Amino acid sequence: MTENPWQETVGTPMPAEEAWLMFEAWKTAGKEIGVLFCGRSGTTAISALLTIRSARNGLVQLKGEGAGASFNLKQAKFTYGPMQVFPRWPAPPPVEVMALQAYLVTGDWLVLVEGVVPRELSPLTLPV
């Protein structure tokens, strides 16, 4: 397996079986999810709001209005948990989202965002 170029993973490691169950639940619910794909070189980044069309045999297929994507997630390593993103980059503030992340054997990185973490539950707002 290719070494992960993303030096620090975010979230709690998740068994692949649980990730596939989550994909199926999102598909069944028709849930729109945020998708961020970053290529290993760091020069390619794609983001979109999509729904899952199919998730089986190691392949996730997504669809949206006028767009679609397929990802081979065989042998990917998964994590799940809160992650900070900057939706109006480079302008603040950051937003915390619940994200399922897949670190692909090719060295690419896929983030599937389930939703925003309410501010009252965000660890960033806890008193020090």
| Percentage of residues of the chain with pLDDT beyond 70 | 79
Q: What confidence tens digit (pLDDT) does each residue in 16-26 have? A: 999 999 999 99
| Cβ-based burial of 12 (10 A; exposed 0-12, middle 13-18, buried ≥19) | exposed
Q: What confidence tens digit (pLDDT) does each residue in 68-105 have? A: 999 999 999 999 998 887 776 677 788 888 899 999 99
Q: Vertex 51, ends 98 and 40: CA angle to 5°?
A: 65
Overall average pLDDT of the 13-35 stretch? 95
Single pTM value for the model? 0.77
Structural tokens at position 64: 């949206």
Q: Where are the domains of the chain?
A: 12-122
The answer, yes or no, to whether residue 124 has pLDDT greater than 60, is no
- Rounded CA separation 55/53 (Å): 7
Domain 12-122 sits in CATH at 2.30.29
